[in-house]
Amino acid sequence: MDYFLTEEQQMIKDLAARIADERVKPVAAELDEKEEFPWELMKVLGEADLFAVWVPEEYGGLGGGVLEQALVVEELSRACSGVAVSYAASALGSFPIILFGTEEQKQRYLPDIASGKRLAAFALTEANAGSDVSGIATTATLDGDEYVLNGTKQWITNGGEADIYTVIAVTDKTKGPRGYSAFIVEKGTPGLSFGKKEKKLGIRASATREVIFENCRIPKENLLGREGQGFVITMKTFDRTRPGVGAQAVGIAQGALDEAVKYARERVQFGQPISSFQGIQFMLADMATQVEAARALVYSVARWIDSGAKDVSQAAAMAKLFASDVCMKVTVDAVQILGGYGYMREYPVEKMMRDAKITQIYEGTNQIQRSIIALDLIKKAARKNK
């Protein structure tokens, strides 16, 4: 289907597709097996200017937004979503700076992110703070011209690999989430260290680690926005990155669908290719329809956000929710169509099925997305009836 992308957007998508097919696909299984961070591929993406697509032109970017980032993530995910999420996490870590950074902060950090020279990461989750962010225990205390950070962040994508961390910490315990603030912490700062690399079900090429702060002192100027804005910064950031998770889901699902169609045409049983059986045909038809619907939603939401729309949280949640549920279903069906072969690691679909699961979990579980969507509905209805 034609989504009427601009010439530049089409160029971005085509380039990402080329890199996915020529560079990522051939090494995807190996990266998964070895759980190796794909630095070489990050370099390729950097040289291709793909880290620049969501960064404003004034700061060394190409001036695109959520849609451009989503196009790249989708294409990379078709080949390996572990690679795609390592790329996307840099967007997640940099959106707080783009949205809330001072001119000086933007000048200082964004050009290196745009060139791919430095990766970014976003550090929110803790052992007792996931869906319920009110459990955050990491603190930041102002001491003269410095904030002192203490606490441990968990499951941080690009942890240890990224150079720039956007960190959410408590500056005022008495205020709950309104007492959270966001900070920029650079790798190499004394007191910042990294825990063990997590062993995961999927997206195994990506690095997921603890990020530990022990009397980690950062200059006062590294506060993003104002004290107490941490929660708002987080939500505004997720509004821009959840469609990206949706794009990741669309990409994985498209990859699985492609494999399923290819296999169904080749695999002969009962004297004919299994693609001639209506049972298989109907499965493929449903998969393709769902993937297209998910893509249409993700692109529409991304475009809408890029237009400068406000109050986009519900739509962003819908894009992430719908696409990730489609992704899980489509990848399970792809494994089913490939049968025994689908279950084996020699074929790529079992990895896609493993990779799919995380899209229903991170950046807010799909239950949290449903809460956001429902509360928004109810709130709007209540306002109308007043």
Partner 1 sequence: MHIVACIKQVPDPSQARIDRETGLVIREGVDKIINPYDLHALEEALRIKETKGGKVTVLSMGPASAEQVLRDAIAMGADQVILLSDRQFAGADTLATSYTLARAVARLEDVNLVICGKQAVDGDTAQVGPGMAAKLDIPHITQVRKLRELTEDKLVAEKLTDRGYEVVEVPLPAVITVVKELNEPRIPGLRGMMRAKKAEIPVWGPEDIEAEADRIGLKGSPTQVWRTFEPERHRKGEMLEGTPSEQAAALWQRLRSL
Q: Which residues are catalytic?
A: 363
Long-range contacts, 123-128 (Cβ 8 Å, 24+): 123/153, 123/156, 123/159, 123/165, 123/166, 123/167, 123/168, 123/211, 124/153, 124/168, 124/234, 125/153, 125/154, 125/155, 125/156, 126/151, 126/152, 126/153, 126/154, 127/152, 127/154
For the bound state, the minimum distance from the C-beta of residue 219 to partner 1, rounded and expressed in Å, comes to 33
Q: Which is nearer to partner 1, 22 or 132 (CB)?
A: 22
For the bound state, the minimum distance from the C-beta of residue 23 to partner 1, rounded and expressed in Å, comes to 7
For the bound state, the minimum distance from the C-beta of residue 14 to partner 1, rounded and expressed in Å, comes to 9
**Which residue, 95, 96, 76, is CA-closest to 86?**
76
**Which residue, 169, 159, 19, is CA-closest to 93?**
159
For the bound state, the minimum distance from the C-beta of residue 229 to partner 1, rounded and expressed in Å, comes to 33
Q: Which is nearer to partner 1, 8 or 266 (CB)?
A: 8
For the bound state, the minimum distance from the C-beta of residue 113 to partner 1, rounded and expressed in Å, comes to 15
Cα 215 to the center of its chain, rounded Å:
30
Q: Which is nearer to partner 1, 35 or 49 (CB)?
A: 49
Q: Which is nearer to partner 1, 38 or 160 (CB)?
A: 38
Tokens 């707080």 belong to 96
β partners of residue 277: none
Q: Which is nearer to partner 1, 18 or 380 (CB)?
A: 18
Burial of 6 (0-12, 13-18, 19+ CB in 10 A): exposed
Q: Which is nearer to partner 1, 41 or 372 (CB)?
A: 41
C-alpha to C-alpha distance for 252 and 41, rounded to whole angstroms: 18
C-alpha to C-alpha distance for 302 and 366, rounded to whole angstroms: 19
Give the distance between the most distant pair of CA atoms in the chain.
Answer: 79
Cβ count near 34 (within 10 Å) = 11
Instruction: Give the binding site for partner 1 (CB under 8 A).
Output: 8, 11-12, 15, 18-19, 22-23, 44, 47-50, 52-53, 62
β partners of residue 133: none
Q: What dihedral angle (degrees, nearest 10) is formed by the CA atoms of 212, 215, 217, 221?
A: 80
Q: Which is nearer to partner 1, 10 or 193 (CB)?
A: 10
C-alpha to C-alpha distance for 111 and 55, rounded to whole angstroms: 8
For the bound state, the minimum distance from the C-beta of residue 262 to partner 1, rounded and expressed in Å, comes to 18
Q: What dihedral angle (degrees, nearest 10) is formed by the CA atoms of 251, 256, 260, 261?
A: 10
For the bound state, the minimum distance from the C-beta of residue 47 to partner 1, rounded and expressed in Å, comes to 6
